Amino acid sequence: MLSSSLEGAEVSMTAIAVQAQQLFHRQPKRSFFETFIRSLIILCVAIAIVLSSISVCDGHWLLTKGKLFGLWYFCTIGNNSALQCTTDFTLANINGLSVGMILARSMVSFAVVVAIFGLELLMVSQVCDDISSRKKWSMGSVLILLSFLLSSSGVLSFLILVRDYITFMGFTLSYWCEFIATFLFFLNGTSGLHLNTITFPWNRMRKN
């Protein structure tokens, strides 16, 4: 009789453990608003990647005083208004410009690559809604923030190198594309991490 009771108790405890495990792994259904915000973040990151890619490929960021400073070329405007471009940045007579441009274009280029991996993680995380997907979303958001750090470092390095030639009207559309992309990387990276925090199941359980 005692052994039967013990066996029954063990079975009950096992059933409770299984139910508890199922409840732990079960995720609350996402609301329409949360799904919409996640989709909007993914869309904005994709737009930022496109803008940054265009800016890096074009590379012409500052046109002032008859000179065009870019990530890949240094150009001067000739008498016939034709651009004469070269990859030899020493002709600009700016100390450290040659090495500095290598660092600047490397950082903004790596920012695009890192952002692509981050976007991929964000998209994959939406395939299924479980604990693993939320970890992928967090990792993707962290990579987007890393893209922001790389992109902003590249932009600031460029500004420091050509600080003596900076004019507000001299910045090209390509530069403003990179500036907007940098802002979008920061906005969506922080928004992604914050959204994952406030919608985590443990936070919902505490509210209940």
Q: Is residue 103 assigned to a domain?
A: yes
Q: Is residue 8 assigned to a domain?
A: no
Q: Is residue 174 assigned to a domain?
A: yes
The confidence score (pLDDT) of residue 32 equals: 73
The confidence score (pLDDT) of residue 206 equals: 46
Domain containing residue 45: 35-59+95-200
The confidence score (pLDDT) of residue 18 equals: 44
The confidence score (pLDDT) of residue 122 equals: 92
The confidence score (pLDDT) of residue 108 equals: 95
The domain tally of the chain equals 1
Which parts of the chain have pLDDT scores under 50? 2, 5-6, 9, 11, 15-18, 20, 22-26, 202-208
Record the tokens describing residue 163, joined without a space: 């600080």
**Alpha helices (H) along 72-172:** 97-125, 131-161
> What CATH number corresponds to the domain at position 47?
1.20.140
Q: Please give the helix or strand (H or E) that residue 76 lies within, else none.
A: strand 74-77
Q: Is residue 86 assigned to a domain?
A: no
Q: Is residue 193 assigned to a domain?
A: yes
The confidence score (pLDDT) of residue 164 equals: 87
Rounded distance between C-alpha atoms, residue 208 and residue 199, angstroms? 13
The confidence score (pLDDT) of residue 156 equals: 95
Rounded distance between C-alpha atoms, residue 136 and residue 142, angstroms? 10
Rounded distance between C-alpha atoms, residue 117 and residue 143, angstroms? 7
Q: Is residue 53 assigned to a domain?
A: yes
- Residue environment code for 71-91, b if the CB has 16+ CB neighbours within 10 A, otherwise e: bebbbeeeeeeeeeeeeebee
Q: Is residue 87 assigned to a domain?
A: no
Q: Is residue 11 assigned to a domain?
A: no
pTM of the model: 0.79
The confidence score (pLDDT) of residue 105 equals: 92
Residue 60 DSSP class: E
